[in-house]
A and B are shown apart, each in its own frame.
Chain A
Amino acid sequence: MSNNNDLKSLDLTVGDVFAQNPRLKARNVSVFYGDNKAIDNVTIDIGNKEVISFIGPSGCGKSTFLRCFNRMNDTIDSCIVKGKITIDDENIYDKKIDVVPLRARIGMVFQKPNPFPKSIYDNVAYGPRIHGLSENKDHLDGIVEESLKRAGLWEEVSDRLDSAGTGLSGGQQQRLCIARAIAVSPEVILMDEPCSALDPIATAKIEELIHELGNDYSIVIVTHSMQQAARVSKRTAYFHLGKLIEVGRTKDIFTRPQHHQTEAYISGKIG
């Protein structure tokens, strides 16, 4: 791969890759698992305080790409990431960057709700504790309450903060995980298929929550349900076999997509 392929990826990607005042910039990112190329030369901006969704058929690499933003791929030995991803013009893959504070700035919510086997209070308080974000117990109590309120969970659990986090229903557990991510005051929240393990009502509630959170955080959602992307996000990016095919406003993608592959996927002609 030559060095001046900054724009080469744009030959393949249709639509508005760049954003005004972006929070995160990915430039020519490729990801390999051993010899297997999972993401091929992707360039995209994540805008400030916007909700953007990544859609595409299974195995197209959208989850892999998402995990590049908070370097979760570091935990997999065979995974190699090439290219640049910058936040505030700092490359997050630079050797000097400490991954621990990075993951406080860029939080993550996973597919299967995974609260710690601790109390509800301790779940939310864990992040602020290890990063030293609170000055005293009262301050920590305040952070926990505010995070649970923003996640729409406070009213349901305020009287039982000491009970186990794993004793909640699926939808509540996922909101607890969102509260946990919010508690460390991130700038970006990454969500990897956050509703795929939930029933339709719980899903609708989480989607409404994402809509509200979009006013304060930049949110990137990976979803295998394009209807969810249509409901929840302002911008949508379509991936296919590791390549970014099209990016644009969700309205436009779903009413008049520009690329024929996008059209085929959205109308259910390819899986």
Chain B
Amino acid sequence: MNKKIISPSDASNIVRKSITKRRTRDNRLKLFGRIAIGLAVCFLLILFYSIFTKGYPGFFQYYVTLDIKFDRDRIDPKGDLSDNSLFDGEASKIVNESLYSIIQPKGRKEKKLAKKIVSSGKDVRIAKMVKNNPSLFGTTTSVKFALDDDVDSFLRGYIKRETPENERRISDKVIQFIDILNEEGRISYEFSDYVLSGSASGNPEMAGIKGAFIGSMLTLSVCLLIAFPLGVATAVYLEEIAKKNRITEFIEVNINNLAAVPSVVFGIMGLAIFISIFGMPRSIPLVGGMVLALMTLPTIIISSRAAIRAVPPSVRDAAYGIGASKIQVIFHHVIPLAMPGMLTGTIIGMAQALGETAPLLMIGMVAFIVDIPNSVLDPGTVLPVQIFMWADFAERMFIQKTSAAIIVLLGFLISMNALAVYLRKKLERRW
């Protein structure tokens, strides 16, 4: 075999001949790539489309407009607008009277059916209105009330007229009443004022995510306040101060492994240590935050270490050369330059923590909490757990509200990630 270097003219001939084959191979690869991307985009579009179409209606619900006589003596017997007084008052009765005047039920049985048409939160609504605006007393004003969830499902078309009565959740008589209200134009489809401002409720029409939202915020705050300083300090220690020996390698391997541990394990750990051994109360954002902090720490440490390593040695040399001590080099130069990377890692870790359900279930943040938590020591729940609980309930309306809550959660995740990208761009410094 003649193994010598090919002459230039022969080489260019060979290259020219092989070029068509190479081009076809390249183009084929490009085509596959494009098809793959196209498929991925399609799936993504389908996913978002189905989420939106399911969830969008969850933000709306049906209301009925009734004319209410704001009779002070009946609504606020003690006259001081206190919760006691309003509780003793007859707000519900007034609403029912207004309803009866329109649909005119006959007999006790029909009246009982009629009462159920309007959501049971009617007296709370009246109470809130008069507290905010006492000048309503003595007037007759139209007020919109949410409709009961079965009525709402019927109006949306999930409960059908055609189904035989004994298989339906609402009776023929109620349908009649609804038709009357509809003919009078009193039924409207509006943006729900419960979804975002209401908290958990057994009644689907009154259920909202506010409680879970605040619970999520409190839990995440605790998580951030614990995980960020600890994570950054650990990364600084491991990268800058600790000597590189067997022990630090061992620590590094373990941190990397912890990042891959299933989150439910952290929940079990929280249950065993924080709740059983330390005796902390269950279901509070403080404990939830601590468990999530343990889970997020490896992510923050790993990304912070990478950010610190990315700081060029020339900056350190310059700082040492001018006579800065090790601590000054770390705090005046390394940390500010590594901060964009650290923040990005932290926000991504937070976004992950926002969507965590399993560990929080383990420590009991699954209870049915009606009151919105005011501090990290009040029992609460988080958004993904709320979604999980709603998904269990049978009422049709919960399905919609669940999808709406998912949209809120996704929106939150996207904005947190967008914040990470924005922060990274803004803080990026050229060196």
B103, CB-defined interface residue at 8 Å: no
| Given A77-B244, A166-B430, A166-B431, A130 and B314 contact (CB-CB distance below 8 Å) | no
B317, CB-defined interface residue at 8 Å: yes
Interface of B is mostly: helix
Contact of B323 among A103, A116, A166, A177 (CB under 8 A): A103
| Given A116-B333, A166-B430, A180 and B314 contact (CB-CB distance below 8 Å) | no
A114-B320 in contact (CB<8A)? no
A100-B325 in contact (CB<8A)? yes
Interface residues on A, range: 20 to 34
A103-B430 in contact (CB<8A)? no
B333-A110 in contact (CB<8A)? no
Contact of A107 among B317, B322, B332, B429 (CB under 8 A): B322
By beta carbon, the residue of chain A nearest B322 is: A127
Cα distance, A181 to B362, chains bound together (Å): 59
Cα distance, A108 to B328, chains bound together (Å): 18
* In the complex, per-residue mask of B313-327: 1 if CB is within 8 Å of any chain A CB, else 0: 011111111111100
Closest chain B CB from A181 CB (angstroms): 7
Segment 315-362 of B: residues with Cβ below 8 Å from A: 315-325, 328, 332-333, 337
B314-A104 in contact (CB<8A)? no
| Given A77-B244, A117-B430, A166-B431, A184 and B322 contact (CB-CB distance below 8 Å) | yes
Cβ contacts under 8 Å, A126 to chain B: 322, 332
Q: Using a Cβ cutoff of 8 Å, how many contacts connect chains A and B?
A: 62
Closest chain B CB from A119 CB (angstroms): 12
> Which residue of A116, A166, A180 has the most chain B CB atoms within 10 A of its CB atom?
A116
Closest chain B CB from A85 CB (angstroms): 17
By beta carbon, the residue of chain A nearest B337 is: A117
Cα distance, A270 to B126, chains bound together (Å): 99
Segment 382-431 of B: residues with Cβ below 8 Å from A: 429-431
Cα distance, A70 to B322, chains bound together (Å): 10
Segment 295-328 of B: residues with Cβ below 8 Å from A: 314-325, 328
By beta carbon, the residue of chain B nearest A101 is: B323
Cα distance, A104 to B324, chains bound together (Å): 9
Closest chain A CB from B294 CB (angstroms): 33
B244-A72 in contact (CB<8A)? no
B430-A72 in contact (CB<8A)? no
A130-B323 in contact (CB<8A)? yes
Count, chain B residues at interface, CB 8 A:
21
Cα distance, A24 to B33, chains bound together (Å): 65
Closest chain B CB from A227 CB (angstroms): 26
Cα distance, A130 to B327, chains bound together (Å): 12
Closest chain B CB from A63 CB (angstroms): 12
A103-B322 in contact (CB<8A)? yes
Cα distance, A13 to B243, chains bound together (Å): 39
Cα distance, A184 to B323, chains bound together (Å): 9
Cβ contacts under 8 Å, B319 to chain A: 116
Cβ contacts under 8 Å, A127 to chain B: 322-323
Closest chain A CB from B341 CB (angstroms): 14
Cα distance, A220 to B86, chains bound together (Å): 89
A267, CB-defined interface residue at 8 Å: no
Cα distance, A69 to B13, chains bound together (Å): 61
A249, CB-defined interface residue at 8 Å: no
B323-A131 in contact (CB<8A)? yes
| Given A110-B314, A112-B314, A103 and B328 contact (CB-CB distance below 8 Å) | no
Cβ contacts under 8 Å, A108 to chain B: 321
A104-B322 in contact (CB<8A)? yes
Cβ contacts under 8 Å, B324 to chain A: 100, 130
8 A-B pairs, CB-CB below 8 angstroms? A72-B317, A100-B325, A103-B320, A104-B322, A107-B321, A126-B322, A130-B322, A130-B328
Closest 7 CB pairs of A and B: A103-B323, A108-B321, A114-B314, A104-B323, A114-B318, A117-B429, A127-B322
